[in-house]
Structure 1
Amino acid sequence: MSLAPILLMGGSGSIGRQAARAIHALYPDIPLLVGGRDLTKAQSAAAEMGPAQGVALDTASADLGLGDQKVSAVVVLYKDPALAGLRFAQSRGIPHLSISSGIFEIAPEIASFMHAPGASAIVLGYEWLVGATTVPALHLAKSFSEVYEIRIGALVDEKDTGGPAVAADFEHLNHLLPEALTLRDGIWLWREGDDAKAVFSALDGTEINATGFSSIDVTGLAVATGAHSVQFDLGQGVSSSRRKGDALSTEIILDISGLDHSGQTLRTRHAVVHPGGAAPLTGMGIALLLERLVGLDGESPVAPGLYFPYQILDASRYLARLAQEGGEVVELFSS
């Protein structure tokens, strides 16, 4: 199918390159616009991406400096405080996906949607690694008739840096919001101080010291499952794969408890693992979202609305693609 280019704002960074790689792995002929403030850097990155063109963006301009250039979707891969990408997407009536805001920063985007709900599809792509937690968790939650608690432990390998833009995002989030939004026994609260400290077991059983993290995954999973308690803890250290002498990986521990469909107590524990680390898993989520948003799979594009990634991503398609990339969802125990 003939399609206008997809604009990757900040596409010359680590996540942008991974997203481009993931998109072209699925659809090699899809054209990309790699946008940034530095034209030379954008052009250099585009030269490595197959059908791609580097462009300089002017975020103070309503058309981003692109003039009458056709664009099919906008992906924002860095903090966009002026919402330049969102304004552009709504003015063109094209999908918008942003992955770098914090849970406490989404009010301007929600307000933009509320004032123009029929303009375009807007995806709040701030879930951990763009659906890597929520999609498997909701798939696993189908084994439950009632979910009591979901505990998420994300382990980032200390050598999995992700590039300067990713580091800047984490510094920004940790500086502005050290407390962790958590659902505990039906009550929303902010964990701070000692209450925000946590320990979870990695894939290989090693105990990981972690800190509560305000990921939007918590809110989405709480509403989608009706869970009484949901918390997200983030730890950094040596990943289980590297601890046994292999390359680094990223892993997400999903601990779910409640009642099964016969009314019996059930607790499951799984690990979502990707051998390439956090960036390839993020890129995969972006590519699968774009596939659905613009209808690359032959289905109708996603209608205008405000979405979590898991509301768009098909779980079976996501898990199949994860397996193709060497990742997996590992069952640790079920009782």
Structure 2
Amino acid sequence: MSFNPILLLGGSGSIGKQTARALRATYPDVPLLIGGRDLTRAQRAAAEIGNAQAIVPDMNAAELGLEDKQISAVVVLYKDHSLASLRFALARGIPHLSISSGVFEIAPEVASFMQSPTASAVVLGYEWLVGATTVPALHLSKSFAQVDEIRIGALVDEQDTGGPAVAEDFEYLSRLMPAALSRRNGNWIWREGDEANVTFSALDGSKIDAAGFSSIDVTGLAAATGAPSVQFNLGKGISSSRRKGGALSTEILLDLSGRDHTGQTLRTRHAVVHPGGAAPLTGMGIALLLERLIGLDGQPPVTPGLYFPYQILDASHYLARLAQEGGEVVQLPLP
């Protein structure tokens, strides 16, 4: 079966290349459009990726300057302040996935979807590394009859820069989002100041200074599990693998507590680890979403609707792909 090209806006950047690599690993023949502001850079990326064409989209044009060119899905790898890509996708009736908005600014996207709720599948892909937290956490929550608290600690290696677009997005979010949306005892609160500063243990037990981060993971996990307390904390430092003398990695620490299916108190602690850092894990999640959004795997495409990534990604398939890439979910002793 042949497919129309997938449009990767920001596709010449680090995450764009990792997304293309992840797609090529399973679907080498799917054509890609590499959209960027610099045509020469986009052309270099397209040549490196193969079966790809470089374009400079016109974000002020109704059709993004693509006229009648057929597209199967739109992926936005940077903050699209104009929402031109979303309007384009809704008008075409094709899936749309964006990964760079903050939890505090999703109202314009939700409003756009609400005007055309049957047009296409729209994915709010702002979960940390596009499903790397929520999919494993929800899989682990199956051991619980009742989840009381979820604490997430994401460790970004200080050498894991991710490219200029990623740095720009983080600077933007840090400047405009100083408080951390969290759930505590059933109430939604904003942690700020000293209350937002925490310490968590990395995979190797090292203490990491972190701060609360307003990730949409918190809202999704609270809704999916009913947990009355959920928080996300982000730290930057030396990853456990590099501390041991190896290459950098990315780590996500997941602490769950509640009651098991016999009514007994249960606490678990796990770490999601990817040896390549944040960008490959993000690219993997985007590729797996595209697989389902347009039916690359031969199954019916995702129907129109507004989705979190975890509502589309199959946990067993996700974890198997993670293992193929050298990543893993590690069970850790309780502190």
TM-score, length of structure 2 as denominator length: 0.99
Structure 1 stretch displaced more, 135-144 or 44-53? 44-53
Within 5 A, what are the aligned runs for 1:102-117? Answer: 102-117=102-117
Q: What SS is found at the alignment partner of 2:48?
A: coil
Deviation at 1:120, TM superposition (A): 0.6
Q: Could you say which residue in structure 1 is the equivalent of 2:19?
A: 19
Matched, 1:61 2:53: no
Could you give the per-residue CA deviations for residues 173-212 of structure 1, whole angstroms, max 9, x where no partner exists? 0000110000000010000000000100000000100000
Structure 1 residue 37, shift from structure 2 partner: 2.0
**Pairwise mapping of residues 152-301 of structure 1 onto structure 2 (< 5 A)?**
152-301=152-301
Q: What does residue 88 of structure 1 align with?
A: 88
Aligned partner of 2:314: which letter? Answer: D
**Per-residue CA shift, 1:52-88, capped at 9, x if unaligned?**
1101110000111111111000000000010011011
* 4+ aligned runs moved over 4 Å, structure 1: none
Contact (CA 8 Å) 1:73, 1:94: kept in 2 or not?
yes
Query: What secondary structure, in the 3-state scheme, does the structure 2 residue paired with 1:46 have?
Result: helix
For the 8 Å contact 1:19–1:284, the answer to whether it is kept is: yes
Q: Give the aligned CA root-mean-square deviation in angstroms.
A: 0.8
Q: Deviations over 1:272-325 (max 9, x none)?
A: 000000000000000000000000111100000000000000000000000000
1:150 and 2:150 matched: yes
Distance 2:110 2:331 in 1: 37
| SS of equivalent to 2:145 | strand
Structure 2, unaligned runs of 5 or more: none
The within-5 A match list for 1:291-330 is: 291-330=291-330
The TM-score normalised by the length of structure 1 is 0.99
Matched residues in 1 for 2:35 and 2:66: separation?
10
State the Cα deviation string for residues 136-193 of structure 1 (Å, max 9, x = none): 0000000000000000000000000000000001000000011000000001000000
3-state SS in 2 of match to 1:247: coil
Output the amino acid matched with 1:320: A
By how many angstroms is 1:228 displaced? 1.1
Q: What letter matches 2:273 in structure 1?
A: V
Q: Alignment partner of 1:181: what SS?
A: strand
Equivalent pairs, count = 335
Compute the displacement of 1:38 (Å): 1.8
Query: Which deviates more from structure 2 when the two are superposed, residues 18-27 or residues 307-316?
Result: 18-27
- The amino acid across from 1:290 in the alignment is L
CA distance in 2, matches of 1:158, 1:188: 31
Deviations 1:239-272 (A, max 9, x none): 0000000100000000000000000000000000
Partners in 2 of 1:280 and 1:51 — Cα distance? 20
What is the SS of the residue equivalent to 2:333? strand
For 1:243 and 1:9, locate their aligned partners in 2 and report how far apart those are by CA, in whole Å: 35
Separation in 1, partners of 2:39, 2:243: 41
Secondary structure of 2:50's counterpart equals coil
Structure 1 residue aligned with 2:5? 5
Q: Equivalent residue of 2:11, what SS?
A: coil
C-alpha distance in structure 2 between counterparts of 1:296 and 1:218, whole Å: 30
The 5 A counterparts of 1:61-80 are 61-80=61-80
Counterparts of 2:94 and 2:75, CA distance in 1: 11
Query: Aligned partners of 2:242, 2:267: CA distance in 1, in Å?
Result: 28
The alpha carbon displacement at 1:333 in A equals 2.8
Asked whether the equivalents of residues 148 and 227 of structure 1 are also in contact (C-alpha less than 8 Å), the reply is yes
> Partner amino acid for 2:265?
T
Distance in 2, matches of 1:60 and 1:275, equals 39
| Partner Cα distance (2:248, 2:36) in 1 | 30
Deviation at 1:6, TM superposition (A): 0.1
Structure 1 residues 23-76: Cα deviation after superposition (integer angstroms, max 9, x where no partner): 111100100000112222111111110211101110000111111111000000
Q: Which structure 1 residue ranges, 5 or more long, are not aligned?
A: none
**Alignment correspondent of 1:125:** 125
